[in-house]
Amino acid sequence: MKKTVFAAALATLFTVNVQANTVGLNLGGQIWQSEASGILGEENTLIDFNLKKEQQSNYFIAVEHPFPLLPNIRISSNTLDTTGKTNLTQGFSFGDETFPIAGIETGTDSHTGANTKSTTGVNSNANLNVSYVDYTLYYELFNNGVFSLDLGVIARSFNGDVTVTGTTTIVATVDEAAHFDHVHSATEETSTSIVKGKIRVNDIEPMLYIAANIGLPLSGLSVFAQSNISLKDDHTLYDYQIGLDYDLVDSRLVDFNLTLGYQFVKMELDNLNNLYTNLEFKGAFIGVIAHF
Q: How many CB atoms lie within 10 A of CB 65?
A: 14
pLDDT of residue 119: 54
pLDDT of residue 16: 41
In the Cβ-directed half-sphere of 83, how many Cα atoms lie within 13 Å?
4
- For residue 180, give the DSSP letter: -
Domain count, the chain: 1
pLDDT of residue 115: 58
Round to whole Å and give the CA distance between 260 and 271.
35
Residues 6+ away with beta carbon under 8 Å from 118 = 104, 105, 106, 170, 171, 172, 173
CATH classification of the domain holding 197 = 2.40.128
Sequential pLDDT tens for the chain (292 residues): 544 544 444 444 444 444 445 788 999 999 999 999 999 998 888 999 999 999 999 999 999 988 888 999 999 999 999 999 988 777 788 988 888 776 555 555 555 555 555 555 667 899 999 999 999 999 999 988 889 999 999 999 999 999 999 877 766 565 655 444 544 555 666 767 788 899 999 999 999 999 999 999 877 899 999 999 999 888 899 999 999 999 988 777 788 999 999 999 999 999 888 899 999 999 999 999 999 8
- Domain holding 266, by residue range, is 2-291
Q: How many CB atoms lie within 10 A of CB 206?
A: 13
Burial of 46 (0-12, 13-18, 19+ CB in 10 A): middle
